[in-house]
A and B are shown apart, each in its own frame.
Chain A
Amino acid sequence: EVQLWESGGGLVQPGGSLRLSCAASGFTFRNFPMNWVRQAPGKGLEWVSTLSSTGQSTYYADSVKGRFTISRDNSKNTLHLQMSSLRADDTAVYYCAKGSADGDYFDYWGHGTLVTVSS
């Protein structure tokens, strides 16, 4: 059974930093792209970032480019999202999502971790 468990969310001041982690199990982690998707309170889903299976290719939404960094440790089956220069509009539930084999879509999702940016 695929399981994804996010951690690291919390309250942070504007301009601050936070590192999210996602522990994966139930599949061969190193073989699949991994993603972060977020959802602001009462809003829809927004793709944030994607990392290829090898970690060689990274993709970011324009809204986070230059501020967020996605990474993975295939030896520990773990995905990370380093977030810096946080703004109020980054407030959201952040979901870790496993990519499909071709990377087209997100076939399994974690429960999410809430990030609140506020003074």
Chain B
Amino acid sequence: YVLTQPPSVSVAPGQTARITCGGDNIGSKRVHWCQQKPGQAPVVVVYEDSARPSGVPERFSGSNSGNTATLTISRVEAGDEADYYCQVWDGSSDQDWVFGGGTKVTVL
């Protein structure tokens, strides 16, 4: 199973960033998103399509339908600059845990 993300997204502070994650009928799967800042370990920002772990700002939201899942970051701040990865559990083989290639979000 293949997940496709744009390599980069640029956004001005205060604007909205949308990061897509494409996959065959991804809407039938649960999508999870993690944020990775340079030199740091990944941190989950959205799980099960749209749920947020405690401590993650409400500015981070997720949606999933059809062949595309989307992570939306509203009112972008400089501290949101990071790599973002989508991930699913496929369940159709023993290679079940799949990551997208990652999207670098740059705050202009």
A62 touches B95 (CB 8 A): yes
How many whole Å from A67's CB to the nearest CB in chain B?
16
The proximity string for A residues 12-28 relative to B, scoring 1 for CB distances below 8 Å and 0 otherwise, is: 00000000000000000
A59 touches B99 (CB 8 A): no
Find chain A residues with CB under 8 A from B43 CB.
109
Question: Known interface pairs A104-B32, A107-B44, A111-B41. Does A45 touch B102 (Cβ–Cβ under 8 Å)?
Answer: yes
Complex CA distance for A103 and B30, rounded to whole angstroms: 12
Question: Known interface pairs A45-B102, A61-B95. Does A95 touch B53 (Cβ–Cβ under 8 Å)?
Answer: no
Question: Known interface pairs A44-B85, A105-B32. Does A50 touch B97 (Cβ–Cβ under 8 Å)?
Answer: yes
- Residue from B34, B36, B48 having most chain A Cβ neighbours under 10 A: B34
Of B87, B95, B102, the contact of A105 (CB 8 Å cutoff): B87
Any B CB within 8 A of the CB of A46: yes
The proximity string for B residues 37-77 relative to A, scoring 1 for CB distances below 8 Å and 0 otherwise, is: 00001111001100001000000000000000000000000
Please give me the 4 A-B residue pairs with the lowest Cβ-Cβ distance, nearest first: A105-B32, A47-B97, A44-B102, A109-B41
Q: Other than A44-B101, A50-B96, A95-B42, give 18 A-B pairs with Cβ distance below 8 A.
A: A35-B97, A44-B99, A45-B42, A45-B99, A45-B102, A46-B99, A47-B98, A47-B99, A59-B97, A104-B30, A104-B89, A105-B30, A105-B32, A105-B44, A105-B89, A106-B34, A107-B53, A111-B41
